[in-house]
Structure 1
């Protein structure tokens, strides 16, 4: 599986996708099923299997996506779309991971253009998580725990504006139940005595990494939901009669919630979580593209199931269409930050028994498996509960430990912002490690693209922000954060493979507020940070030399909110123009900090500046096309800087 090891290896590998012949069913096959004389249950069963087949195709072609939760929810989603939803009703999945399955249903029904199945996680195609810019999506999801709150907002607006809308159906996940907001949303929902709200929990027992029960046992969910006043029930989520009865039974004057017991990976025997042995800790098929063998076996199983159901229903379906998967190649020169981080934290932990690691259900993505295996008593799996994790870390620090917390940067720095600030205000030294930082990977969509984390963390009291440019500098940065910095540190880590730039031994020079001069030049100096943009800028500098005969100075700094003004004054003395290139929004990002502080120090007197970075909501797609769209590819950066040099 590609993503599962995951975004840390770029969402997919050449081995996983190259040379696979993949196939899909055309819309005609779904139409034949829908127009048959079979029962609603029979139609839905076969429709859902066809949707699973196309979901497998979409994820394989994209090179990434979520199969396990798509497969577990497809019987529920298919029943709703085929038999329940009326034009005035609204449905959305709060968890968002099941978007490939949802898209497979929506394309089959013409809600989305059918050809979009070929464009999952592509620019102009279907985003990795639902977005209101796509037909059929009523709200953005992907950031967990928000679904019921969003549903309540819709209902309140309908009532206040006297808009005659129908019912609201929300699908949520059991891992998502660890987010505090979801439980907050239950309380007030009952106060309005509104029976238009139907919530279904896709209770497939497995969250991102492992069994839910291993992280935070949910216990008796029906009793818990009932205690909040909801009309709660439980049943087999793959039994269509259970879904039908849940919706059709006469409602009380209260919202309804169904705990639908499902199987993660349903429909493919070896992907079903029930096939995991007792000694298997991590579920393999939460996310990522299947490899050649897995794809072939899964396709065979689904096709056999489709043919069997078709024969039982006396339906003749067309053969699936075969195409070739686009290979996703990773350069042999690439380096990976997350495995390097795994080595760095393990090395420090061996010499410092006070180091503890906290994780938010991303142990695979954050490189913590070696740490967990070697120091199980110093590893805390907090689940999908970032706020709880950060507050625990704060008092661990007050108690004498060195806590290092881990999550995706997009969730850690935003959802737990208040808790981080509280930790800083009480003097808790905590190291915050945000992976999946920056514009890439762009496949998951805007909910997962962390391009505002520098803004969020720069305003924290006594917090140093660091973005290492390569694995060597990462090791030095983590050592500095643990052993030298007296306050808190935010480490911003790239999760995709990158071609590293290096200054040799200078990589180890970690003087606060300074950078490394990677290329000498005058007239124009480019300042950047991190592995993605440092490589882009070095290519741009080479283009200036080769095409225009101009030597451009390049400074790569790991310090995002620390600046040695005297050092920069010396480095910039021969440059009349200064450009900042960053993997973040330009507004209130790294560039804003650099230019503001250089200006206050009088370094920029008589010098022109330009900031190059993100200026709009990040788009979803593959790496090269997204860099080009946002004008962060080398050609666009070069052209922008040529114009900058030519300007008076």
Structure 2
């Protein structure tokens, strides 16, 4: 489920124009052979999109393309109401490549993966040809059942085909969704499992084995077929046979190869389950990209020669112009990894739990050093959090890890249950906030303060720089209750400097810049950096704005906020989060509840709508949270003479 953020491939790039897919569809050849050819052409285009964007999921896209090509070229009748969607969503580049080839999406979208106004990193219903938002795992079968129920009520026909990942089957909702489909004999539902054997980091078998999948689906009352998911003749035969099954939901367990089509990217090239799969996410290096293009083009040429057809035109695109990464970028997670190891040495009761994100969450060194105190739970956040609750009840100190978008929401009830037991558990959420923007809404965690901030005794914190990570982690581990450590995952440039003697004090922030006209209160690496830049821009306009880093997302010390009110004629809160329910509302509510002698004018800045997918700078600008827009909005507010909360 991880989403490593890579770089744009710095070499010439290649793609197949849509007209060539039209020509291939018209060839006089057996349909399964055309499907194989079509899939390889789409592989070249999916690779192009990922290379140009600098991120995406190659492995999952490549493993699914023979299946997608069969469905769109042979199986589905969209005029009759047939629907396909991918529940896992990681294979979005593959689906986009097919939809562009089919003319559902315009060809120019090929150049806009993970760009503002282009194609989002995970499926979004605003994109033509997509029928639901996915990327948050486990929901697809349930949504398909709902669509078919709606079809029955409204008198519409059509079948629904849903593609799931195999790691996705570790999500509990998958197994909940199977029961009623069988009970209601939903025969027009077909689920295809892209069983490519690998998850974000390691093999499914190592992470959390699925056991006998055939027997499990049959036990739930489903009709099961198991096939080679890259054998296009077998795909055609299997789906033809499934048409006769009308009184059961159907599942096709398609044994596939992650990274299929490029030898060195294929999961089968890995020697053992100890080795990580390198091409789950991100983009290949320039030399890897060119080697992959050569392999795919050679196979396309061979297939065309076997069909006595002329070569496919491949368009060459000049090397993208890539802006160098800004100097001085810092990261939070290396500091977190080091701090966790230090604390684990001192606290033998400390254990770490992970949800298939060990690399992204900086846990590989912990697992190597403390294997008996490390538990990989797979893609099963609810189960992980409740296990942590049991551990805490028996005297351990669990530190629970996942991306914030999943950790704050999927196991929300389990976190609350643990809190009612006064359990001492530290939840660590990565990939927090609006950036990286490329993956899209399913992975932009901008609601965890509102989701968790009201749980009694649960304290949420977020560091503004690497130097604040260790002190905040130590505070959380010492705290006699539940806590949530929120962190962004991308590198970022910041001028934030904490005092040498800095020690976190509950509910109290630290002044990073003084200013008599206004004070910006914020938290986290991203917003603190942008606040400091905004203050510099305001200074150029003659406005003296101070900046306070306040790591406490849902707590504010009454004396501290009263002091803020006394010193600041204007108070601005800045959230890397929805404004409603964010840190700013907690601070302003705490201030109002403290009955200050003079209430400052207040401006609360944060997200007002779901953020879009795009390049980081594009999205920060459009949501109004980059330094330029922040400074502009503050300057306008200071000149307006009105109070806005």
TMscore range, shorter length? over 0.9
The aligned length equals 636
Q: Secondary structure at the match of 1:127?
A: coil
Q: 1:442 aligns with which of 437, 441, 447?
A: 437
Q: 2:277 matched to which residue of 1?
A: 283
- Contact conserved, 1:63 with 1:328, CA < 8 A, in 2? no
CA deviations 1:334-365 (Å, max 9, x no partner) are 00111111111011111111110000000010
Q: Cα distance, 1:507 vs. partner?
A: 7.1
Q: Name the SS for the 1:238 alignment partner.
A: coil
Q: Does 1:621 align with 2:621?
A: no
Name the counterpart of 1:212. Answer: 204
Any conservation in 2 of the 1:599–1:605 contact (CA below 8 Å)?
A: no
Work out whether 1:166 is the aligned partner of 2:161. no
**Distance across 2 between alignment mates of 1:179 and 1:492:** 23
Quote the Cα distance in structure 1 between the aligned partners of 2:172 and 2:296.
37
Pick the aligned partner of 1:60 from 51, 57, 74.
Answer: 51
Counterpart selection for 2:488 from 470, 474, 494: 494
Match of 1:536 in 2: 530
Runs (5+) with no aligned partner, structure 1: none
Deviation at 1:296, TM superposition (A): 1.4
- Whether contact under 8 Å (2:620, 2:626) holds in the other structure is yes
Q: Is the 8 A contact 2:592 2:599 kept in 1?
A: no
Matched residue, 1:467 = 462
**Equivalence for 1:420:** 415
TM-score scaled by length of structure 2 = 0.97
Q: CA deviation at 1:636?
A: 1.0
Task: Check whether the contact 1:473–1:507 (CA below 8 A) recurs between aligned residues.
Answer: no
Confirm or deny that 1:552 pairs with 2:545.
yes
Of 196-205 and 571-580, the range deviating more from structure 2: 571-580
After TM superposition, the score normalised by the length of structure 1 is: 0.96
Q: Is the 8 A contact 2:12 2:316 kept in 1?
A: no
What is the CA-CA distance between 1:125 and the residue it aligns to?
0.5
- Relative to structure 2, which stretch is displaced further, 41-50 or 566-575? 566-575
Q: Does 1:237 align with 2:229?
A: yes
Cα RMSD between the aligned structures? 1.4
Query: In structure 2, what is the Cα distance between the partners aligned to 1:280 and 1:380?
Result: 15
How far the C-alpha of 1:273 sits from its partner, in A, is 0.4
Deviation sequence 1:556-607 (CA, Å, 0-9, x none): 1111111112123223323221111110000111111011110110238442
Deviations 1:362-389 (A, max 9, x none): 0010000000111111110000000000
In 1, distance between residues paired with 2:198 and 2:384?
20
For 1:454-603, list aligned pairs within 5 A.
454-483=449-478, 485-506=479-500, 508-546=502-540, 548-603=541-596
Does the residue aligned with 2:408 lie in a helix, a strand or coil?
Answer: helix
Alignment of 1:331-342 (within 5 A): 331-342=326-337
Aligned to 1:51: 42
Rounded Cα–Cα distance in structure 1 between residues aligned with 2:630 and 2:355 = 36
Q: Could you list the runs of 5+ residues in structure 2 that have no partner in the other structure? A: none
Structure 1 equivalent of residue 287 of structure 2: 293
User: In structure 2, which of residues 7, 14, 26 is the aligned counterpart of residue 23 of structure 1?
Assistant: 14
Aligned twin of 2:122:
129
Identify the residue that residue 378 of structure 1 maps to in structure 2: 373
- Of 180, 193, 214 in structure 1, the residue corresponding to residue 185 of structure 2 is 193
The alpha-carbon deviation at position 500 of structure 1 amounts to 2.6
From the superposition, tell whether residues 328 and 146 of structure 1 become closer, same or farther in structure 2 (CA, over 3 Å): farther
Once the two structures are superposed, residues 276-320 of structure 1 have per-residue CA deviations (whole angstroms, 9 ceiling, x without a partner) of 112742110111110112111111111111111111112222133
- Measured in 2, the distance between the counterparts of 1:18 and 1:94 equals 28
Once the two structures are superposed, the pairs formed by residues 34-433 of structure 1 within 5 Å of their partners are 34-87=25-78, 88-162=81-155, 164-249=156-241, 250-278=244-272, 280-316=274-310, 317-327=312-322, 329-433=324-428
Separation in structure 2 between the aligned mates of residue 468 and residue 397 of structure 1, nearest angstrom = 25
Give me the whole-angstrom Cα distance separating, in 2, the residues matched to 1:122 and 1:398.
46
**Contact map agreement 2:565 2:600 (CA 8 A) in 1:** no
Superposition deviation, residue 422 in structure 1? 0.4
- Per-residue CA distance 1:371-427 (angstroms, 9 max, x = gap): 011111111000000000000001101111110000000000000000000000011
CA contact under 8 A between 2:514 and 2:547: conserved in structure 1? yes
- Partners of 2:538 and 2:163 in 1: CA distance: 53
Can you list the C-alpha shifts for 1:416-463, whole angstroms capped at 9, x where unaligned? 000000000011111000000000001001010000011111011211
Of residues 357-366 and 506-515 in structure 1, the stretch that sits farther from structure 2 once superposed is: 506-515
1:147-168: CA deviation from partner (whole Å, max 9, x where unpaired): 1100100111111222x22011
Provide the rounded CA distance (Å) in 1 between the counterparts of 2:75 and 2:273: 41
CA offsets per residue over residues 48-71 of structure 1, 9 Å max, x none? 000000111000000000000100
Deviation (angstroms), 1:632: 0.9
In structure 1, distance between residues paired with 2:347 and 2:157: 60
Q: Counterpart of 1:579 in 2: which secondary structure?
A: strand
